[in-house]
């Protein structure tokens, strides 16, 4: 919420002309999130500093945003770092305060505006996911000498480590307009904590608009994708409210967005890069389904419906029952599968509804095959018994196909730190022996036979990245 | 001289049946229907034709009209309502469909044929302008009718009444008869006795233990038994395998004849009847011995036995529908119904079609799916001890295999048993004899049905008549329950949300005790208790006296003797640490004498677990500490820049003052959250503050004063002060200014010292007022704590002014609905109701928690 711009170009007070703000005055103006103030703590011929201070109105901020859903906001909307952090709000205030300066126009000092000046920028409390190092990676290639440091999260609780708020000092010779533009784009970029999917043409658009400095920047892809996605509106689902009342991060509950992508993030770094592992997994499952001659298939834990799409494309398959425990995931699946616009014949081939594998559900009975692709590892081990009973005991399809990560293979994922699970919602990842012993016990308990197949490159030492068990009901 | 009244022509019709009127056009079916049945009971094809085609005579709409008719009949029969079909029904195909429909719902089809002469019908049709069809139509219909008349019984009609003259029809009195299985008018009390299998001496002993005086004939043989206040109900399988089948039959037949017992047939009676009738049956499973025993009896006795067996009715429904007795159990849809398959189920149960390793049929676990309110008591499959499963109880404890002969006392729900004198028959599958007297256990299915918790739901509770749950909220609850919650067999309760007090009007505060006292005084509550609000997380703790007790009552999922969960049903800790806490509290409860005093095998506590950081460290770190760190990184820099500007003569005075204030607020905020963090290592550092005992065994405690609950907590503290934290409190008289001032001072001191605040509760605990339940508690949070909720700067006067406009109505309503549901869940637990009945309440609380409400309240 505070930015100072200092120059030692003589006469330094010319900075007032370039910024179109008189050094002798304190100017305040309303911005959408509160009030911005521009003033000069120092304005001499040899050194001039302009300060932009943003006063955020935290209560007004929430009220303006919430609109009709007045009370449907997360607590995080009320108690957060926004009033202090030098991020997107400060960038917006920067744009409001120095609109003309950002364009590089200055009739009074046009030559000065076009030339590089000795500049020092100080931004306090810049939230940066990636720490001082990322600040250096982002600003150094632009010609700045960077001095960045982060303070402790809480000096009285040292085990919590450093905070993500970086005190940023930049020193360099740049055109003022370039400096301002860079701050405008990059402050929000540093803040971003998460990756979200952005289409490639959107990225191209930003790169074109970002001017020369962005097009040649070594981190331009990271900058672009973060810039385009950081302002995701936080609409709160019923589910997220349940996370909140139990003091949990909503994203931990609502992983509808992440499942497919995060798997990929880890698993893409495999030697099987030619065909992503998720695709190989679907292929293997489809092959097993086809080999069994099954006509009525259940996809238990269908996620966003990729396997459902493949199953529907196979005319041998008469009916697909696709269920997931997440209502939101099912909405995404319905959209991806275009359920609304399917022909009646196609639509009649698929049922999509919410179910839970730890409850008995009559609608899941009478299937030839049920697929549990990357599902069991999302169930707490004490609740696996309930899943076993409802799937193998009650739904009791002729075949059950179960895939799960092979924990032994994790050492082959370069991006995965040791002793880490592939996804944060995984409750366990099993070795081949563990999976085998589970599957064999379940098979004998419920009257199935089971065989195993590797999915993905079957590494001599650590086995394949995914393991597949094919259960067949023993008849007679 | 009196005139002899013309005798009525009685037409008996079972109370629950599908009555098919058969007759040609003009035979007076509609008139007959109107005269003898309620208008809503009669479904006519003409009416349906009118509904689908706007014309009752539009023959082209007939297929659609009958689809509609069948649909309506289907719904009515499913609901158990007598239904009358008003259509010609002269064609066998039309009747076949109706008979099938009746069978599908296991009700008896009845035909009432109006077979009037053709000319009578023609004359009637002639005066109706809409019936302008020719005589040939009537003639054809009459031909069809007559061809079918003889075969009606064969078509499946249980009763056929043919009325041939106008006079006969005029004299008809339709008499509704009870079904044989309908003994709803018999309220009991009963003693439901399990499979006897020829164990006469054990039966005599059991009857004696149940208070029956056994009556004997001259030869000293038991021929009856009588208890002046009670009657016996036998679940069948009196015969075969045991030493004295004839003696058992003599005794039971005598009791049934004397009206001191009821008896339903078992599969062994069914087979014996066939054998006595000379049918070809295999004399296995003890039948050979039975036949030998009966052969030793006089022929007259064998005749009595045959008549007795033939008279047995598949199952009985007693006590207004609250008790059902059948040999092999009965699904709810079959209660009080009559059909071949109902009888089949009663005798043999439902098998999956598979056989186990001993060659015995694998039983379909119908009881796991049972959702009925009626208690179903049955036998057939011997169990080591009777087990309640969803309101059903198998009372066959394997007497003939050396187990027990048991009876369920109804309505007391107690089991009375006698030991078998010895093993009379070696079972095909080893029968695990329970060494102890057969105490009824509970077996909760480890998997519940998704229909118990999905979709739009309406729950009936004793506290608020109907509590609704929207589909979307049920869906959110299902997801959280499935992905994160502990085993539903542990999860008996989720705590309700709590409303804050009305907003204070004081200049510097949002919440103050006076609004709580005002509110309770206005509700007519003089005595309240203020309880310190602990700085932790809400927790529910279930502690069993022993692992065995946990197994008997909850099935002990995870081989644990208890559980500890959060307000959304998640475990706080991994199993080993949970087990440690459970054990510590168990030991404390034991040494405090609580378990014995309450005669409890388990205790369920509402509590607070401290520190908050034990559960919510990521939240404290990533959200609260981050706010403090950002403020520390930004505000001092801003102040120094502003100070330099001021020194340089710029007019930044107000801005500087505001920035300084915000810096001070941020420091206060940091201090506020730090009070919630302290390191824990295993159990070291963890504190548990129980403040209410929710339930134990068959008791709930919301009618006990809060002082009682807090005394219980204090006794636990005394037993283990390291783990268990006390709850400080103050009693307040809401009509006494001095008392209020004292409590207010207490709250001020508490919160000034960094305390979170307090909760004000009616001292009497659960209370009802004229407008329904009175709020069970109102929280009054401290000024500093609220910084964590409303943000560091909420205390700035301009901010406070805006924050005062907070709507509490939704929060209050939500708090009451959740409270009522929670109490209902506890009541159901205490009454020993099936798990699904508890789980639906618990799921509903979770679903309501996902309603959008201002999270700061």
B617: pLDDT confidence band, cut at 50, 70 and 90?
A: confident
CB contact under 8 A, A41 and B644: yes
Calculate what percentage of chain A has a pLDDT beyond 90.
53
Q: Which pLDDT score is estimated for A269? A: 46
Is residue B808 less than 8 Å (CB to CB) from chain A?
A: no
Residues of B in contact with A160 (CB under 8 A): 621, 625
CA distance B789 to chain A (A): 7
pLDDT score of B496 more than 90: yes
Residue B442 in contact with residue B388, Cβ under 8 Å? Answer: yes
CB contact under 8 A, A327 and B476: yes
pLDDT score of B666 more than 50: yes
B643: pLDDT confidence band, cut at 50, 70 and 90?
A: very high
Which of 505-564 (B) contact A at CB < 8 A? 537, 557-558
Q: Do residues A281 and A412 both lie within one domain?
A: yes
With tokens 């959110």, the residue in question is B476
Q: Do residues A172 and A87 both lie within one domain?
A: yes
pLDDT score of A203 more than 60: no
Q: Which pLDDT score is estimated for A249? A: 64
CB contact under 8 A, A382 and B566: no
CA distance B784 to chain A (A): 14
pLDDT score of A264 more than 60: no
Q: Do residues A279 and A359 both lie within one domain?
A: yes
CB contact under 8 A, B632 and A63: no
Q: Do residues A107 and A152 both lie within one domain?
A: yes
Last residue of a domain, one of A229, A246, A271: A229
Q: Do residues A214 and A283 both lie within one domain?
A: no
**Cα–chain center distance at A183:** 23
Please name which of A77, A41, A45, A30 lies closest in space to residue A58, comparing C-alpha atoms. Answer: A77
Is residue B708 less than 8 Å (CB to CB) from chain A?
A: no
CA distance A130 to chain B (A): 15
CB contact under 8 A, B454 and A167: no
Nearest-by-Cβ selection for A71 from B616, B637, B853: B853
pLDDT score of B28 more than 60: yes
pLDDT score of B351 more than 50: yes
A261: pLDDT confidence band, cut at 50, 70 and 90?
A: very low
Residues B250-274, mean pLDDT to the nearest whole number: 95
B786-834 residue pLDDT tens = 999 888 999 998 888 888 888 899 999 999 999 999 999 999 999 888 8
CB contact under 8 A, B650 and A39: yes
Residues A199-219, mean pLDDT to the nearest whole number: 63
Is residue B799 less than 8 Å (CB to CB) from chain A?
A: yes
Q: Which pLDDT score is estimated for B440? A: 66
Last residue of a domain, one of A208, A229, A250: A229
Q: Do residues A175 and A310 both lie within one domain?
A: no
Calculate what percentage of chain B has a pLDDT beyond 90.
70
Least confident of A89-103, B158-172, B442-456: B442-456
B202-244 residue pLDDT tens = 999 999 999 999 999 999 999 999 999 999 999 999 999 999 9
CA distance A144 to chain B (A): 22
CA distance B262 to chain A (A): 36
Nearest-by-Cβ selection for A382 from B368, B487, B802: B487
CA distances from B829 to A190, A423, B94, B386, B392 (A): 54, 38, 50, 19, 16
Count CB-CB contacts under 10 A for residue B284: 9
Least confident of A17-21, A186-190, B450-454, B660-664: A186-190
Please indicate, yes or no, if residue A45 is contained in any of the structural domains. yes
> If you measure CA to CA, which chain B residue comes closest to A426?
B483
Least confident of A120-134, B43-57, B271-285: B271-285
Interacting residues of A141 by C-beta distance below 8 A, sequence separation 6+ = A217, A218, A219
Q: Do residues A153 and A20 both lie within one domain?
A: yes
The CATH number for A151's domain is: 3.30.1610.20
Peptide bond between residue B611 and the one before it cis (omega within 30 degrees of 0): yes
Nearest-by-Cβ selection for B645 from A39, A241, A378: A39
- Mean pLDDT (chain B) is 91
Q: Which pLDDT score is estimated for B124? A: 86
Residue B384 in contact with residue B181, Cβ under 8 Å? Answer: no
Q: Which pLDDT score is estimated for A268? A: 46
CA distances from A249 to A58, A243, A304, B118, B621 (A): 21, 6, 22, 82, 12
CB contact under 8 A, B448 and A359: yes
Last residue of a domain, one of A229, A249, A281: A229
Nearest-by-Cβ selection for B629 from A40, A80, A163: A163
**Cα–chain center distance at B99:** 34
pLDDT score of A70 more than 50: no
Least confident of B78-82, B191-195, B269-273, B280-284: B280-284
Q: Which pLDDT score is estimated for A231? A: 39
A89: pLDDT confidence band, cut at 50, 70 and 90?
A: confident
Query: What are phi and psi for residue A385, nearest 5 degrees?
Result: -60, -40
Nearest-by-Cβ selection for A165 from B630, B645, B851: B630
B541: pLDDT confidence band, cut at 50, 70 and 90?
A: very high
A238: pLDDT confidence band, cut at 50, 70 and 90?
A: low
Q: Which pLDDT score is estimated for A232? A: 40
* Terminal C-alpha separation, chain A: 74
Count CB-CB contacts under 10 A for residue B654: 10
CA distances from A434 to A407, B315, B708 (A): 10, 49, 51
CB contact under 8 A, B799 and A1: no
Which region, left, alpha or beta, applies to residue A458 given φ > 0 means left and ψ of -120 to 50 means alpha? beta
Q: Which pLDDT score is estimated for B749? A: 95
Please indicate, yes or no, if residue A245 is contained in any of the structural domains. no
Q: Do residues A284 and A167 both lie within one domain?
A: no
pLDDT score of A64 more than 70: no
Residues of B in contact with A60 (CB under 8 A): 802
Most A CBs within 10 A among B469, B631, B791, B809, hence the mutation to make, goes to B791
Please indicate, yes or no, if residue A238 is contained in any of the structural domains. no
Q: Which pLDDT score is estimated for A197? A: 38
Say if strands B729-733 and B527-532 run parallel, antiparallel, or are unpaired.
antiparallel
CA distance B658 to chain A (A): 9
CB contact under 8 A, B655 and A78: no
Residues of A in contact with B555 (CB under 8 A): none
Residues B113-142, mean pLDDT to the nearest whole number: 84
Please indicate, yes or no, if residue A243 is contained in any of the structural domains. no
CB contact under 8 A, A238 and B655: no
A324-337 residue pLDDT tens = 999 888 988 998 89
Most B CBs within 10 A among A383, A424, A445, hence the mutation to make, goes to A383
Q: Do residues A409 and A289 both lie within one domain?
A: yes
Residue B635 in contact with residue A84, Cβ under 8 Å? Answer: yes
CA gap B449, B366 in Å, rounded: 12
Is residue B637 less than 8 Å (CB to CB) from chain A?
A: yes
Which structural domain range is residue A311 located in? 259-473
pLDDT score of A395 more than 70: yes
Most A CBs within 10 A among B357, B633, B811, B856, hence the mutation to make, goes to B633
| DSSP per-residue letters across B578-609 | HHHHHHHHHHHHHHTTHHHHTT-SEEEEEEEE
CA distance B181 to chain A (A): 30
Residues B317-338, mean pLDDT to the nearest whole number: 95
Q: Do residues A208 and A76 both lie within one domain?
A: yes
B390: pLDDT confidence band, cut at 50, 70 and 90?
A: confident
Residues of B in contact with A385 (CB under 8 A): 446
Q: Do residues A223 and A347 both lie within one domain?
A: no
ipTM over 0.90: no
Is residue B821 less than 8 Å (CB to CB) from chain A?
A: no
Q: Which pLDDT score is estimated for B765? A: 95
CA distance A314 to chain B (A): 30
Greater pLDDT, B442 or B659: B659
Residues B657-665, mean pLDDT to the nearest whole number: 94
> If you measure CA to CA, which chain B residue comes closest to A330?
B475
pLDDT score of A229 more than 80: no
Q: Which pLDDT score is estimated for B745? A: 96
Q: Which pLDDT score is estimated for B433? A: 66
Q: Which pLDDT score is estimated for B118? A: 86
Most B CBs within 10 A among A81, A84, A354, hence the mutation to make, goes to A84
Please name which of B253, B359, B367 lies closest in space to residue B310, comparing C-alpha atoms. Answer: B253
CB contact under 8 A, B644 and A78: no
Residue B63 in contact with residue B69, Cβ under 8 Å? Answer: no
Q: How many CB pairs below 8 Å do chains A and B form together? A: 252
Residue A61 in contact with residue A33, Cβ under 8 Å? Answer: yes
Residue A38 in contact with residue A51, Cβ under 8 Å? Answer: yes
B284: pLDDT confidence band, cut at 50, 70 and 90?
A: confident
Nearest-by-Cβ selection for B791 from A2, A79, A165: A79
Q: Report how many domains make up chain A.
A: 2
**What length is written for chain A?**
476
A77: pLDDT confidence band, cut at 50, 70 and 90?
A: low
Q: Do residues A225 and A270 both lie within one domain?
A: no
> If you measure CA to CA, which chain A residue comes closest to B666?
A84
CB contact under 8 A, A156 and B652: no
Please indicate, yes or no, if residue A244 is contained in any of the structural domains. no
Q: Which pLDDT score is estimated for A193? A: 43
Q: Which pLDDT score is estimated for A402? A: 97
Which region, left, alpha or beta, applies to residue B558 given φ > 0 means left and ψ of -120 to 50 means alpha? left
Please indicate, yes or no, if residue A215 is contained in any of the structural domains. yes
Greater pLDDT, B384 or B98: B98
CA distance B308 to chain A (A): 40
A270: pLDDT confidence band, cut at 50, 70 and 90?
A: very low
Is residue B619 less than 8 Å (CB to CB) from chain A?
A: yes
Q: Which pLDDT score is estimated for B210? A: 95
Please indicate, yes or no, if residue A333 is contained in any of the structural domains. yes
A13-61 residue pLDDT tens = 899 999 999 988 999 999 888 899 999 999 999 999 999 999 988 777 7
Greatest extent of chain A over all pairs of C-alpha atoms, in Å: 98
The CATH number for A338's domain is: 3.40.50.150
Please indicate, yes or no, if residue A235 is contained in any of the structural domains. no
Is residue B796 less than 8 Å (CB to CB) from chain A?
A: no
Helix (H, G, I), strand (E, B) or coil at A293: coil
Peptide bond between residue B81 and the one before it cis (omega within 30 degrees of 0): no
């Amino acid at each position: 919420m505070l930015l100072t711009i200092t120059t030692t170009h003589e006469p330094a007070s010319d900075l007032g002309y370039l910024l179109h703000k008189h050094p002798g005055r304190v100017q305040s103006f309303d911005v959408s999130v509160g009030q911005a103030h521009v003033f000069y703590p120092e304005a001499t011929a040899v050194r001039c500093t302009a300060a932009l201070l943003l006063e955020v109105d935290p209560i007004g901020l929430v009220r303006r945003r919430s609109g009709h859903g007045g009370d449907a906001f997360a607590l995080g909307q009320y108690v957060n770092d926004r009033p202090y952090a030098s991020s997107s709000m400060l960038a917006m205030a920067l744009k409001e305060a120095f609109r003309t300066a950002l364009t590089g126009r200055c009739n009074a000092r046009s030559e000065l505006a076009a030339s590089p000046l000795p500049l020092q920028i100080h931004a306090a409390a810049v939230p940066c996911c990636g720490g001082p190092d990322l600040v250096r990676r982002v600003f150094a290639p632009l010609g700045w000498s960077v001095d960045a440091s982060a303070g402790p999260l809480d000096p009285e609780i040292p085990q919590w480590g450093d905070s993500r708020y970086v005190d940023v000092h930049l020193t360099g010779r740049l055109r003022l307009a370039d400096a301002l533009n860079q701050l405008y784009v990059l402050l929000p970029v540093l803040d971003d904590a998460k990756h979200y999917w952005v289409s490639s043409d959107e990225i191209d658009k930003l790169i074109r608009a970002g001017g020369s400095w962005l097009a040649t920047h070594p981190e331009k892809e990271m900058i672009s994708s973060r810039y385009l996605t950081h302002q995701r509106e936080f609409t709160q689902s019923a589910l997220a409210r349940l996370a909140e009342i139990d003091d949990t991060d909503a994203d931990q509950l609502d992983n509808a967005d992440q499942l497919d992508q995060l798997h990929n993030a880890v698993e893409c770094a495999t030697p099987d890069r030619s065909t992503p592992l998720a695709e190989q997994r679907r292929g293997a499952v489809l092959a097993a389904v086809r080999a069994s001659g099954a006509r009525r298939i259940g996809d238990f834990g269908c996620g966003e419906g990729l396997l459902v799409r493949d199953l529907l494309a196979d005319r041998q398959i008469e009916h697909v029952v696709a269920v997931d425990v997440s209502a939101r995931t099912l909405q995404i699946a319905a959209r991806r599968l275009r359920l609304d616009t399917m022909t009646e014949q196609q639509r009649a081939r698929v049922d999509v509804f919410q179910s839970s594998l730890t409850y008995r559900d009559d609608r899941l009975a009478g299937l030839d095959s049920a697929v549990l692709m990357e599902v069991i590892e999302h169930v707490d081990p004490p609740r696996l018994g309930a899943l076993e009973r409802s799937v193998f005991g009650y739904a009791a399809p002729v075949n059950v196909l179960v895939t799960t990560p092979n924990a032994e293979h994790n050492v082959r994922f370069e991006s995965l730190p040791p002793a880490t699970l592939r996804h944060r919602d995984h409750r366990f990842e099993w070795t081949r022996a563990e999976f085998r012993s589970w599957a064999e016990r379940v098979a004998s308990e419920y009257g199935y036979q089971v065989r195993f197949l590797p999915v993905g490159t079957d590494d001599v030492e650590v086995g394949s990245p995914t393991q597949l068990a094919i259960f067949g009901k023993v008849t007679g | 001289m009196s005139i002899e009244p013309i005798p009525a022509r009685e037409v008996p019709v079972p109370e629950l049946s599908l009555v098919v009127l058969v007759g040609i056009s003009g035979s007076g079916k509609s008139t007959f229907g109107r005269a003898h049945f309620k208008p809503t009971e009669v479904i006519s094809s003409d009416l349906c034709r009118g509904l689908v085609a706007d014309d009752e005579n539009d023959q082209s709409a007939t297929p659609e009209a009958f689809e509609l008719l069948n649909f309506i009949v289907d719904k009515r029969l499913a609901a158990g309502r007598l239904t009358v079909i008003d259509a010609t029904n002269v064609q066998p195909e039309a009747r076949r469909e109706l008979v099938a429909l009746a069978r599908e719902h296991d009700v008896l089809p009845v035909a009432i044929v109006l077979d009037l002469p053709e000319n009578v019908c023609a004359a009637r049709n002639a005066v109706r302008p809409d019936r302008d069809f020719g005589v040939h139509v009537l003639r054809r219909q009459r031909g069809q009718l007559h061809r079918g008349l003889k075969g009606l019984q064969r078509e499946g009609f249980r009763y056929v009444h043919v009325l041939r003259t106008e006079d006969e029809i005029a004299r008809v009195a339709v008499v509704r008869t009870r079904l044989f299985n309908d003994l709803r008018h018999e309220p009991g009390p009963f003693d439901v006795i399990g499979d006897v299998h020829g164990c006469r001496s054990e039966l005599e002993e059991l009857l004696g233990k149940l208070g029956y005086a056994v009556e004997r004939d001259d030869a000293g043989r038991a021929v009856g038994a009588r208890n002046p206040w009670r009657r016996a109900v036998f679940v069948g399988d009196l015969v075969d395998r045991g030493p004295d089948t004839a003696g058992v039959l003599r005794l039971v037949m005598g009791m049934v004849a004397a009206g001191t017992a009821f008896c339903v047939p078992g599969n062994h009676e069914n087979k014996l009847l066939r054998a006595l009738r000379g049918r070809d049956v295999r004399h296995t499973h003890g039948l050979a011995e039975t036949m030998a025993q009966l052969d030793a009896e006089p022929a007259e006795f064998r005749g009595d036995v045959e008549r007795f067996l033939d008279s047995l009715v598949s199952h009985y429904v007693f006590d207004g529908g609250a008790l059902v007795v059948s040999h092999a159990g009965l699904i709810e849809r079959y209660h009080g119904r009559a059909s071949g398959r109902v009888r089949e189920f009663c005798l043999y149960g439902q098998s999956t079609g598979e056989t186990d390793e001993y060659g015995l049929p694998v039983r379909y676990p119908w009881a796991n799916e049972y959702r009925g309110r009626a208690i179903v008591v049955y036998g057939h499959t011997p169990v080591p001890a009777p087990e309640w499963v969803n309101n059903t109880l198998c009372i066959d404890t394997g007497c003939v295999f050396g187990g027990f002969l048991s009876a369920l006392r109804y309505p007391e729900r107690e089991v009375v048993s006698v030991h078998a004198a010895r093993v009379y028959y070696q079972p095909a599958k080893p029968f695990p004899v329970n060494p102890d007297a057969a105490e009824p256990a509970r077996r909760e299915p480890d998997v519940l049905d998704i229909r118990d918790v999905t979709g739009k739901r309406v729950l009936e509770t004793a506290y608020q008549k109907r509590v609704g749950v929207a589909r979307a909220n049920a869906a959110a609850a299902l997801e959280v329950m499935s992905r994160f919650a502990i085993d539903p067999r542990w999860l008996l309760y989720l705590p309700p949300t709590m409303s804050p007090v009305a907003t204070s009007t004081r200049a510097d505060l949002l919440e103050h005790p006076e609004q709580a006292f005002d509110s309770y005084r206005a509700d007519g509550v003089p005595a309240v208790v203020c309880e310190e609000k602990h700085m932790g997380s809400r927790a529910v703790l279930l502690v069993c006296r022993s692992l065995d007790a946990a197994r008997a009552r909850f099935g002990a999922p995870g081989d644990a003797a208890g559980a500890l969960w959060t307000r959304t049903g998640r475990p706080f800790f991994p199993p080993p640490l949970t087990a440690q806490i459970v054990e510590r509290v168990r030991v404390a409860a034991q040494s405090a004498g609580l378990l014995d005093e309450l005669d409890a095998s388990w205790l369920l506590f509402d509590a607070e677990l401290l520190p908050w950081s034990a559960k919510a460290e990521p939240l404290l770190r990533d959200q609260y500490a981050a706010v403090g760190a950002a403020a520390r990184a930004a505000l001092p820099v801003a102040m120094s820049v502003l100070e330099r500007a001021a020194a340089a003569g710029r007019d930044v005075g107000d801005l500087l003052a505001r920035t300084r204030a915000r810096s001070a607020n941020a420091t206060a905020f940091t201090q506020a959250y730090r009070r919630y963090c302290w390191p824990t290592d295993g159990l070291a550092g963890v504190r548990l503050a129980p403040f209410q005992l929710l339930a134990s065994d068959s008791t709930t405690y919301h009618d006990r004063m809060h002082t009682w609950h807090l005394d219980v907590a204090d006794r636990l503290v005394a037993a283990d002060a390291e783990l268990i934290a006390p709850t400080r409190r103050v009693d307040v008289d809401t009509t006494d200014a001095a008392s209020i001032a004292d409590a207010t001072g207490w709250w001020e001191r508490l919160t000034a010292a960094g305390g979170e605040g307090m909760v004000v509760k009616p001292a009497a605990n659960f209370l009802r007022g004229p407008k329904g339940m009175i709020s069970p508690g109102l929280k009054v949070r401290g000024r500093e704590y609220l910084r964590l909720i409303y943000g560091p700067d909420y205390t700035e006067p301009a901010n406070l002014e805006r924050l005062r406009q907070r709507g509490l109505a939704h929060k209050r309503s939500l708090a009451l609905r959740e409270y009522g549901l929670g109490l209902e869940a506890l009541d159901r637990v205490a009454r020993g109701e099936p798990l699904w009945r508890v789980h639906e309440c618990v799921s509903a609380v979770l679903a309501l928690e996902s309603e959008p409400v201002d999270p700061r309240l």
